[in-house]
Structure 1
């Protein structure tokens, strides 16, 4: 499959038709080429966020990229953030932490059983990452995914709220599940409504969670 950047309409049809469930829009960058792109746009941005996929799977590249930014006099003011699933080991966070300003971590479910059902893995390492990042003032945001009838945050809201409040004054973003880009069984799942999100937000607020960010829109 050939992707024509100039003709692309951002409709994601290529993602749906790829037999390998991959993206033909992937582009390869070296640290130098990506750094050059940052320099061209440095006057118009105040930071950089790397996402994915899972960005920490490319940890050596991230390390070189972030160190290059923080070592450049004209770029070191830019914040360097990582949007992550939290599966990186403590050793990995220790390596990248001196060069990053923070990480946004997804906690898709509270209970390991529910998290395994959603993602195929338990969430013990994710919770450890969240706690380590908070302890070292590197947790920029905690993200909870609201999936009606599938996520378990509300069922475990007492434990969840206690966990969050021990992290400090951390922003908690509630993301509403929707079907865009979803495949498999999840295509039949119910999208999260404003009421679903507000129910969880109210429960967390009542238990002392202060900074809650709601979705800007619902699809």
Structure 2
């Protein structure tokens, strides 16, 4: 969806955010049909990222909370069993804006709206958790992407370590915020039983985990890399065989059970 000029930019009572795009009928970003805002900017460089155009923090469009609320309210009847989701890019780069947006959705005169944060968690700063306090108080659900269960494997796959991600998971568990774990299963990288069992052991202590989604790797983003003149690091990797997903899901659940004793 293309952005139109935001009439509220000059008078907004809230902070402004920088977005890549919005989707008005999202069906895979949380429960029900959802209004999804994709933030601009991401510190990760995942080899399979299908939105490399969201990486640059200086791209995108400045948008106000009021603008997003207006867009949601214009289609509110479609979101009766859904709500709003903020994805990315990496939303945690803009915690103040997200806190304002989620608070506004919770305080809507026509009724409270369910809020969901789709994040890899890397932008969380465990040395300054107070910066994220307002946002997390207004977050009903988190879709937490765990890219790899092995520290070195995570760094090779994303270009970053996973300590901040685990710290974010610990913070969500401490607060009791509901979490759905997401894990992209990539042939030859994250598709072994051992890797998935280790993932289960990592997330097992988090008693707030209410769901688990293993997402089969696909190649639909390759064309975008070609358009942007970027090299695609997994050019020789085939799509994931979806028939293996149940087996690997069982491996994750085994790991969780062992971690919990």
**Shorter-chain TM-score category?**
0.7 to 0.9
**Is it true that 1:119 corresponds to 2:158 in the alignment?**
yes
Q: 1:139 to 1:131 in 2, by over 3 A?
A: farther
Once residues 210 and 94 of structure 2 are traced to their aligned partners in structure 1, the CA distance between those partners, rounded to angstroms, is: 26
Which residue is equivalent to 1:81? 116
Equivalenced residues, count: 190
Deviation at 1:133, TM superposition (A): 0.8
The answer to whether the Cα contact below 8 Å between 2:185 and 2:216 also exists between their aligned partners in 1 is: yes
The answer to whether the Cα contact below 8 Å between 1:108 and 1:144 also exists between their aligned partners in 2 is: yes
Query: Which of 87, 104, 112 lines up with 2:143 in the alignment?
Result: 104
- TM-score of the superposed pair, with normalisation by structure 1: 0.76
Of structures 1 and 2, the one with the larger relative CO (CA 8 A, separation 6+) is 2
Q: Which 5+ residue runs of structure 1 have no aligned equivalent?
A: 6-20, 210-219
Query: Which of 208, 213, 216 lines up with 1:173 in the alignment?
Result: 213
Determine helix, strand or coil for the equivalent of 1:141.
Answer: strand
Query: Which of 63, 67, 87 lines up with 1:29 in the alignment?
Result: 63
**Is it true that 1:190 corresponds to 2:224 in the alignment?**
no
| TM-superposition CA deviations, 1:43-93 (whole Å, max 9, x none) | 221310111111222222212211222222324x21111100111224243
| TM-superposition CA deviations, 1:119-158 (whole Å, max 9, x none) | 1001111111112112312132011111111126633444
Which residue is equivalent to 2:183? 144
Which residue is equivalent to 1:212? none
**Is it true that 1:41 corresponds to 2:75 in the alignment?**
yes
The answer to whether the Cα contact below 8 Å between 2:96 and 2:134 also exists between their aligned partners in 1 is: no
Q: 1:152 to 1:123 in 2, by over 3 A?
A: farther
Once residues 191 and 61 of structure 2 are traced to their aligned partners in structure 1, the CA distance between those partners, rounded to angstroms, is: 37
Once residues 133 and 194 of structure 1 are traced to their aligned partners in structure 2, the CA distance between those partners, rounded to angstroms, is: 30
Determine helix, strand or coil for the equivalent of 2:101.
Answer: helix
Q: Which has the higher strand share?
A: 2
Moved more, 35-44 or 116-125: 35-44
Q: Which has the higher helix share?
A: 1
Moved more, 125-134 or 159-168: 159-168
CA RMSD in angstroms comes to: 2.6
Once residues 193 and 238 of structure 2 are traced to their aligned partners in structure 1, the CA distance between those partners, rounded to angstroms, is: 16
- TM-score of the superposed pair, with normalisation by structure 2: 0.65
Determine helix, strand or coil for the equivalent of 1:186.
Answer: coil
